[in-house]
Structure 1
Amino acid sequence: MIALPDLGVSLGASLRREWLLAFRNRGDIANPAIFFLTIVVFVPLGISPDDKVLATLAPGMIWIVALLATLLSLDRLFQSDYDDGSLEQMIVSGQPLYGLVLCKVLVHWLITGLPLILLAPVLGVMMSLPEAGYVPLLISLFLGTGTLSLIGAIGAALTVALRRGGLLLSLIVMPLYVPVLIFGSSAVRYAIEGFAIGGVLAVLGALLAGALLLAPLAAAGALRVGINQ
């Protein structure tokens, strides 16, 4: 049995390692935010610059782009560790994979989800989002992007041993992303229309809690299967 202090030290070391690895590939950090910003900048040019049209599209459009930006960096979540053999060493070392997956997901959210949340108010202005939608947008993105990263870890683990598994990864996680997209955009839209949003945010919180409990376990199991093949 692993002692709790040893487990804490192991998780801390894993978190530091993942953070340093993330900053070695600075392009991977910038790409989701640049993609997010670029799409929202070009939407008014491609659809209509009219404020009323943009205000109608803003909740769903911002959430769709946030989902795609999160998906953009998922295929590299475990890939570098698999390629250099360190993932196999982590599995045979006896350390709990749950903690390893959780550390990777946390770093992924910090370099992908958090920048999107910070950019959201600026993008809301560019999309003519009504004032009532800003706070619900931030809260829903905070809850939803964490869920997206956790669910994405399952797909990344299932496809880690496959060459060019990006398309398969998208096919696996996209159906699981649909509830997050629906409730996330609905929270913003309901707030703009003057309806209560407590129930919708509660569902997003429940999805995050369920993903936090189950997704690392599923991803850890998928990694073991993939390595043993």
Structure 2
Amino acid sequence: MSAFAALIVQTVAASIRAGGGALTGLLFFLTVVSVIPFGVGPDLNLLARIGPAVLWIGVLLSMLLGLDRLFGQDREDGGLELVIVSGESMPLFVLARACGYWLAHGLPIVLAAPVLGLILNLSPLALGAVTLTLLAGSPALAMIGAVGGALTAGLARGGMLAAILVLPLSVPVLIFGVAAVNGAIADPDPFLAPFLIMCAFTLFSAVLAPIAGAAALRLGLD
């Protein structure tokens, strides 16, 4: 197994073990989506209209949980210094952590979204569009979250600060993700443009976020 794959596996295992971080995010997502029908009322048409946005917002907020633990342990046990001394690529280290974070926190939430979409009276077409956009867009949320986690690594209560830093940067992904779903429901043609823009955000974040995260970790060690 390569070092990159080993880091991903280690991140997934740590996310599952350390305080139930991954499970907490999933339970938070289930709670957020489940209480919406009680607040909105029995208007099924309204639930169907706001359902895609509710699922996307739930995924975004759930993935903010646990960012403080993404690099916190590495900072405490000297793992970051070892990566630098060994000459390994810091951007690849950040990318591996972000991929593991998405597998542990993001993927279970994405897989749960279509089931919870039934509670929001979403049509099969809407459920498929939501699932597709979340699969394509949620990795960008993990990459952006990794930058926030790197900036706040080692800080007391860094999770709240990381969420504040990450949330504004994640809004464009949310906007185009919801727009793509709404386009798929209204007309198949408008789906493609916002979906491709969101995919571009994911690709850009996969390139830029590891570089920014590595710079933030180095700055924190100085």
**TM-score relative to the length of structure 1:** 0.91
Distance 1:44 1:158, change over 3 A: same
Task: Give the counterpart of 1:95 among 79, 84, 88.
Answer: 88
Give 1:16 deviation, angstroms: 3.4
Give 1:62 deviation, angstroms: 0.8
For 1:199, the equivalent position in structure 2 comes to: 193
For 1:4, the equivalent position in structure 2 comes to: none
Task: Give the counterpart of 1:136 among 99, 104, 129.
Answer: 129
Aligned pairs, number: 221
> 5+ unaligned residues in a row in structure 2: which ranges?
none
Give 1:66 deviation, angstroms: 0.5
Task: Give the counterpart of 1:216 among 192, 210, 215.
Answer: 210
Distance 2:126 2:16 in 1: 33
Give 1:152 deviation, angstroms: 0.7
Distance 1:22 1:39 in 2: 21
Distance 1:162 1:140 in 2: 33
Give 1:27 deviation, angstroms: 1.1
Secondary structure of residue in 1 paired with 2:64:
helix
| Counterpart check, 1:110 vs 2:130 | no
Root mean square deviation of aligned Cα? 1.5
Distance 1:143 1:177 in 2: 14
Matches within 5 A, 1:34-45: 34-45=27-38
- 1:40-99 residue CA offsets vs partner (Å, 9 max, x unmatched): 111111221221111111011111011000111222111111122222222222111122
- 8 Å Cα contact 2:152-2:161 kept in structure 1: yes
Distance 1:23 1:39, change over 3 A: closer
Give 1:191 deviation, angstroms: 1.3
**Structure 1 segments of 4+ aligned residues over 3 angstroms from their partners:** none
Distance 2:156 2:149 in 1: 12
Q: Which has the higher mean CA deviation after the structures are superposed, 117-126 or 13-22?
A: 13-22
- 1:167-188 residue CA offsets vs partner (Å, 9 max, x unmatched): 3212211111110010011111
| Counterpart check, 1:54 vs 2:47 | yes
Identical aligned residues as a percent: 40
Q: Which has the higher mean CA deviation after the structures are superposed, 200-209 or 92-101?
A: 92-101
Distance 2:217 2:69 in 1: 14
